Amino acid sequence: MTGRRKVTNVLCPLCGGETVPIEYGEPSAEGLEASDRGEVILGGCIVWDEMPTVACRVCDHSWVWK
């Protein structure tokens, strides 16, 4: 445990649910474990403009959080 667990403090604008950050790029072992725990969503390696950075755990809405 490194203590660098990421949590967002944003709530979903649609349903008010908890949100998790979306990570892009090659997932690390830690990233995969966090994904299994539902703490992060792995967005894959394809990156384009205006990538959503957070996603709702409840309704799957994702958006760019700045």
Positions in the binding site for Zn ion (CB under 5 A): 12, 14-15, 17, 56, 58-59, 61
Query: Cβ closer to Zn ion: 15 or 32?
Result: 15
Q: Min. distance of Cβ 15 from Zn ion in angstroms?
A: 3
Query: Cβ closer to Zn ion: 24 or 63?
Result: 63
Q: Min. distance of Cβ 16 from Zn ion in angstroms?
A: 7
For the chain, strand residue ranges (E) read 19-24, 41-44, 54-56, 62-63
CA distance 31 to 14: 26
Q: Are strands 19-24 and 62-63 parallel, antiparallel or unpaired?
A: unpaired
